């Protein structure tokens, strides 16, 4: 290897932070102040969040690239997700970066995902700049937060050079940054000056031929599949012949049909690209994230991208209910498999497992939110399918069963500490820290099995009356902590097909909470409500009022039903038991039993009961 040289015309910067700390809003302000948009041009807020789901939920789901030019230097910006379930996107994005801006809320301080993204950035030996955002909040405590950030760097084993990080204070929403708390900033010029001054350009070896690591994939109707990545060494021209090096050093030839670079949020054509720049390359169909694109003469592979292992799995299967095929455009298992396989190409943290029976697919990922996002995307694309309850992935070490454990950070009012501790203890959680602050807020830390948190977040918000915050960080695997009940209620199950009648639902209301309204189609095995007792009951929601020629006072009173809470995909996934499924179609969500026939379910329960008696005798 020759002497390494820096390309000082380019800076590759990743913006990393916990969810809701203002990454995408800060990027918006950088666009506006660097001349990406003309004066007076009307643009949307949160430009980088271009997916419908991202705009609806207010979170970033996928890492995205853009660029700004400041004082003749091109700054490639990588906007990363802040939610723990999309950690794979952060790990993938950091392979393109040479430095990172750690954004921290001036009130909340470093939270679990801050620790996760900072640990990954330090492991990648990136230069870190710290920006303390939202200093205009009434409860801002920037000096204390800075001390907490320093302690976090030390906890994560940062070296002396990494500990000497520059700090800026910002109000991202207003597009203001400043070096001290006393001065009043007017714009973000100081931030972009600091990026050029503090961070260094990407290193490359001038003697090495072209090498590019594929870190993202896209698709264009005219150009086909697009490979996105950072040029590590060398340069490439349009129409040049190259080779793609896959896993196990398998090589595939390609011809570069088009080269594109980021200019703001748009793509522009290029004839040649420099080392260190982030490039979009067209001309190869069979490419995966982690592959290396190199020259034919010297095909040298770069180290592949490695991300943390998945911890949660979920079953995806066809909809075989009586109402199947009425809403969806794609209903076959083959189509579902193709769509999920496409997801694994774009998302490095997703894995697929196809059992020998070939009647369902197991999808493995980082968390139930990530799974819910995939299901929601498929639903909007016209797919009709059924999904099971998320289950954690166990490991066997030295003949013992191990399970994933989460470090849970909770902030709530002191009056709710009892109920939170009680609920988490029932789920095999262990308290490791409790601090009461002066403003009657309590900060608690627990280690809880990942399976204990599935469906708990909704309960937590109810228990704390919506005032508590819960954040998690994957801690590792520990020995299995034992069984505990997932749900303390049963299901109200329809015993026949038809349309729900108000009279029948009115008489079922005392049994528990209903999920359906009059006129909705039902079928045998469909779950229409939550039973208040810990057992399932089969009911007739289609029973009409018997008509007679006898009249009595109050006989014709109108039936008034309690309004139902709309069923969301996350709520449905959290509610179901192991023997239940969520039926997802483009226009509706239904809960159902895996085995629809009431008689067959009754026979299976009897068989299980007899087997348990034999085992105990």
In contact, 129 and 100? CB cutoff 8 Å: yes
Q: Which two tokens stand for residue 609?
A: 């009961």
Lowest mean pLDDT among 17-21, 34-38, 363-367: 34-38
Q: Which two tokens stand for residue 49?
A: 């969040």
Strand 127-133 versus strand 99-105 pairing type: parallel
Lowest mean pLDDT among 262-271, 543-552, 585-594: 543-552
CA 29 to chain centre: 25
Q: Which CATH class is domain 208-295?
A: mainly beta
pLDDT value of residue 188 = 86
List, in sequence order, every residue forming a beta bridge with 278; answer none if it has no partner.
230
Share of the chain above pLDDT 70, in %: 94
Once rounded to an integer, what is the mean pLDDT over residues 520-530?
93
DSSP 442: E
Q: Which stretches within 437-588 are classed as H helix?
A: 450-453, 456-463, 502-508, 569-575
Query: What whole-number distance in Å separates Cα of residue 421 and Cα of residue 316?
Result: 34
Strand 391-392 versus strand 312-317 pairing type: antiparallel
| Chosen CATH of 312-392 out of 3.30.70.870, 3.10.110.10, 1.10.760.10, 3.40.50.1820 | 3.30.70.870
Query: What whole-number distance in Å separates Cα of residue 92 and Cα of residue 212?
Result: 14
* DSSP-derived 3-state class of residue 575: helix
In contact, 500 and 561? CB cutoff 8 Å: no
User: Which residues, 6+ apart, have CB-to-CB distance to 494 below 8 Å?
Assistant: 522, 523, 524, 525, 526, 527, 528, 538, 539, 540, 541, 542
In contact, 237 and 258? CB cutoff 8 Å: no
Residue 478 above 70 pLDDT? yes
Check for a shared fold between 208-295 and 395-479: no
Query: What whole-number distance in Å separates Cα of residue 158 and Cα of residue 127?
Result: 11
Query: What whole-number distance in Å separates Cα of residue 196 and Cα of residue 115?
Result: 25
pLDDT digits 0-9 by tens, 350-400 = 889 888 877 889 999 888 888 888 999 999 999 999 999 999 999 998 889
Once rounded to an integer, what is the mean pLDDT over residues 469-490?
87
In contact, 99 and 126? CB cutoff 8 Å: yes
pLDDT value of residue 554 = 54
Q: Which CATH class is domain 395-479?
A: alpha beta
Return the number of other C-beta atoms located less than 10 Å from residue 263's C-beta.
15
pLDDT value of residue 156 = 86
Q: For the chain, state the CA radius of gyration.
A: 28
Provide DSSP, 198-262.
HS-PPEE-TTS--EEEEEEEEEETTTEEEEEEEEEES-EETT-EEEEE-GGG-EEEEE--EEEEE
Return the number of other C-beta atoms located less than 10 Å from residue 362's C-beta.
18
Residue 429 above 60 pLDDT? yes
Residue 538: in which H helix or E strand, if any?
strand 537-539
List, in sequence order, every residue forming a beta bridge with 405; answer none if it has no partner.
449, 476
Residue 38 above 70 pLDDT? no
Which carries the bigger pLDDT value, residue 20 or residue 94?
A: 94
Strand 127-133 versus strand 292-295 pairing type: unpaired
Q: Which two tokens stand for residue 555?
A: 């006989």
Q: Report the CATH superfamily, name and number, of domain 490-605.
A: bipa protein (2.40.50.250)
CA distances to 48, 151, 459 from 462, in Å = 33, 34, 5
pLDDT value of residue 46 = 54
Residue in this structure with the two tokens 């393109």, named with its chain if needed: 96
CA 463 to chain centre: 24
* DSSP-derived 3-state class of residue 85: helix
List, in sequence order, every residue forming a beta bridge with 170; answer none if it has no partner.
177
Band the pLDDT of 336: cuts 50, 70, 90.
very high
Q: Which of 250-254, 289-293, 382-386: highest mean pLDDT?
A: 382-386
Residue 175: in which H helix or E strand, if any?
none
In contact, 369 and 61? CB cutoff 8 Å: no
pLDDT digits 0-9 by tens, 535-587 = 899 999 999 887 766 665 555 567 788 898 888 898 899 889 888 999 999 99
Strand 10-17 versus strand 73-79 pairing type: parallel
Q: Which of 212-221, 296-305, 350-359, 495-504: highest mean pLDDT?
A: 495-504
pLDDT value of residue 34 = 67
pLDDT value of residue 520 = 92
Which carries the bigger pLDDT value, residue 472 or residue 51?
A: 472
Which is nearest to 511 in space by CA: 486, 550, 538? 538
pLDDT value of residue 428 = 92
Where do the domains of the chain lie? Answer: 5-202, 208-295, 312-392, 395-479, 490-605
Return the number of other C-beta atoms located less than 10 Å from residue 580's C-beta.
21
Once rounded to an integer, what is the mean pLDDT over residues 412-441?
89
Once rounded to an integer, what is the mean pLDDT over residues 183-194?
86
Query: What whole-number distance in Å separates Cα of residue 611 and Cα of residue 217?
Result: 51
Query: What whole-number distance in Å separates Cα of residue 401 and Cα of residue 482?
Result: 10
Cα angle vertex 96, ends 90, 98, to 5°?
A: 100
Residue 328 above 90 pLDDT? no
Q: In what order do the strands lie in the sheet with 258-263?
A: 251-255, 241-245, 292-295, 211-220, 224-233, 278-282, 258-263, 266-269
For 47-81, give one letter per residue: b (16+ CB within 10 A) or e.
bbbeeeebeeeebbbbbbbbbbebeeebbbbbbbb
DSSP 490: E
pLDDT digits 0-9 by tens, 216-246 = 888 777 777 888 888 888 888 888 888 888 8
Phi, psi of 183 (to 5 degrees): -75, 160
Residue in this structure with the two tokens 């999904």, named with its chain if needed: 387
Average pLDDT over the chain reads 85
pLDDT value of residue 4 = 81
Band the pLDDT of 617: cuts 50, 70, 90.
low
| Chosen CATH of 5-202 out of 3.30.465.10, 3.30.559.10, 3.40.50.300, 3.40.1410.10 | 3.40.50.300
Which is nearest to 174 in space by CA: 195, 157, 191, 152? 191
Once rounded to an integer, what is the mean pLDDT over residues 42-61?
63
Query: What whole-number distance in Å separates Cα of residue 470 and Cα of residue 458?
Result: 11
Which is nearest to 536 in space by CA: 520, 515, 512, 519? 512
Once rounded to an integer, what is the mean pLDDT over residues 283-300?
84
């Amino acid at each position: 290897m020759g002497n390494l040289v820096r390309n000082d015309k380019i800076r590759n910067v990743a913006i990393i932070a916990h969810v809701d700390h203002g990454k995408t809003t800060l990027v918006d302000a950088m666009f506006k102040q660097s001349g990406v948009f003309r004066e007076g041009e009307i643009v949307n807020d949160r430009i980088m969040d271009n997916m419908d789901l991202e705009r609806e939920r207010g979170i970033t789901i996928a890492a995205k690239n853009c660029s700004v030019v400041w004082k003749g230097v091109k700054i490639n910006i990588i906007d990363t997700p802040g939610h723990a379930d999309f950690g794979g996107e952060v790990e993938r994005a950091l392979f393109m970066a040479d430095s990172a801006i750690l954004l921290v809320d001036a009130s909340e301080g470093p939270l679990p995902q801050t620790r996760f993204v900072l640990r990954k950035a330090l492991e990648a030996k990136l230069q870190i700049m710290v920006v303390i955002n939202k200093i205009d909040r009434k409860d801002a405590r920037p000096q204390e937060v800075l001390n907490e950030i320093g302690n976090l760097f030390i906890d994560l084993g940062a070296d002396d050079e990494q500990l000497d990080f520059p700090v800026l204070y910002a109000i991202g929403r207003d597009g203001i940054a400043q070096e001290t708390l006393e001065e009043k900033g007017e714009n973000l010029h100081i931030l972009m000056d600091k990026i050029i001054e503090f961070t260094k350009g990407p290193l490359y070896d001038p003697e090495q031929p072209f090498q590019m690591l594929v870190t993202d994939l896209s698709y264009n109707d005219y150009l086909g599949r697009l490979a996105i990545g950072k040029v590590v060494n060398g340069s490439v021209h349009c129409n040049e012949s190259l080779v793609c090096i896959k896993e196990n050093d398998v090589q595939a030839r390609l011809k570069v049909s088009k080269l594109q670079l980021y200019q703001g949020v748009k793509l522009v054509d290029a004839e040649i690209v420099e080392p260190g720049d982030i490039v979009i390359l067209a001309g190869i169909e069979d490419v995966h994230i982690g592959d290396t694109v190199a020259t034919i003469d010297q095909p040298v592979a770069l180290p592949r991208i490695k991300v943390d292992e998945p911890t949660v799995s979920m079953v995806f299967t066809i909809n075989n209910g009586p109402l199947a095929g009425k809403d969806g455009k794609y209903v076959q298992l083959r189509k579902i498999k193709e769509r999920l396989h496409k997801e694994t190409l774009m998302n490095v943290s997703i894995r697929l497992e196809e059992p020998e029976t070939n009647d369902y697919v197991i999808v493995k990922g980082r968390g139930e939110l990530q799974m819910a996002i995939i299901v929601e995307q498929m639903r909007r694309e016209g797919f009709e399918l059924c999904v099971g309850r998320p289950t954690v992935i166990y490991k066997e070490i030295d003949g013992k069963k191990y399970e994933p454990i989460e470090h849970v950070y909770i902030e709530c009012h002191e009056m709710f500490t009892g109920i939170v501790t009680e609920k988490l203890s029932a789920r095999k959680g262990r308290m490791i820290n409790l601090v009461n602050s002066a403003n009657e807020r309590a900060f608690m830390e627990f280690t809880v099995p990942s399976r204990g948190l599935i469906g708990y977040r909704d309960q937590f918000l109810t228990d704390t009356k919506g005032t508590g915050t819960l954040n998690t960080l994957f801690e590792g695997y520990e020995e299995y902590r034992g069984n505990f009940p997932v749900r303390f209620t049963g299901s109200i199950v329809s015993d026949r097909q038809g349309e729900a009648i108000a009279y029948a639902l009115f008489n079922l209301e005392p049994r528990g909470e209903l999920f359906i309204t009059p006129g909705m189609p039902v079928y045998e095995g469909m779950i229409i409500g939550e039973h208040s007792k810990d057992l399932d009951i089969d009911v007739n929601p289609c029973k009409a009022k018997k008509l007679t020629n006898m009249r009595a006072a109050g006989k014709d009173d109108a039936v008034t039903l309690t309004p139902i809470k709309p069923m969301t995909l996350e709520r449905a996934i959290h509610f179901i038991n192991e023997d239940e499924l969520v039926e997802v179609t483009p226009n509706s969500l239904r809960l159902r039993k895996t085995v629809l026939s009431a008689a067959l379910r009754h026979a299976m329960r009897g068989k299980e009961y007899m087997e348990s008696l034999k085992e105990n005798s």
